[in-house]
Amino acid sequence: MGLLWDHARIIDTETRLVFPIRYERRTDIGGGIPDQPRYITVNVTPRRPANFVIRDGETLRWSWDNGAVSGHAVVVGDTVTAEAVPLTAGAPYKRLSFYRPAGPALAAAATD
């Protein structure tokens, strides 16, 4: 599949994990293999972040393309997955972000 990551622009901090991702459609593969579709939906599971520590059972938020799609994901063991991330062939890199939901104290501080 033509799923591409911009490794140089990955952000891995204590508070967030951000992946620039894009999809490049493969066509004319040959051997009777059909062209890849223009639109796909993928599940993305980050592996071994260095600084964004995930904890079994915690619920994280994720956001795609500046909030065009977002959701919650529960950490199971040492993995977390953003489900149903929509990609369009040929579109520029867009960002998938994982972060912790703001608690009441953080929300209050953000409005002060």
- Determine which helix (DSSP H) or strand (DSSP E) holds 106, and give its type and residue range: helix 104-111
pLDDT in the model for residue 1: 63
Residue 27 to residue 34: CA distance in whole angstroms: 7
Higher pLDDT, 21 or 2: 21
DSSP alpha helix (H) spans, 4-103 = none
Residue 76 pairs with which residues in a beta bridge?
79
As its CATH architecture, domain 3-27+35-111 has Sandwich (2.60)
Q: What is the pLDDT of residues 7-37, one digit of tens each?
A: 999 999 999 999 999 999 988 888 999 889 9
Q: What is the pLDDT of residues 59-84, one digit of tens each?
A: 999 999 999 999 999 999 999 999 99
Higher pLDDT, 111 or 102: 102
- Please report, for the chain, the start and end positions of each structural domain, with discontinuous segments joined by +: 3-27+35-111
pLDDT band at 38 (very low <50, low <70, confident <90, very high): very high
Average pLDDT over residues 45-51: 93
With a cut of 60, say whether residue 111 has pLDDT above it.
no
- Reduced to 3 states (helix: H, G, I; strand: E, B; else coil), residue 89 is strand
Q: Please say whether the beta carbons of 77 and 37 come within 8 A.
A: no
Residue 111 to residue 97: CA distance in whole angstroms: 22
What pTM, to 2 d.p., does this model score?
0.83
CB count within 10 Å of CB 87 equals 24
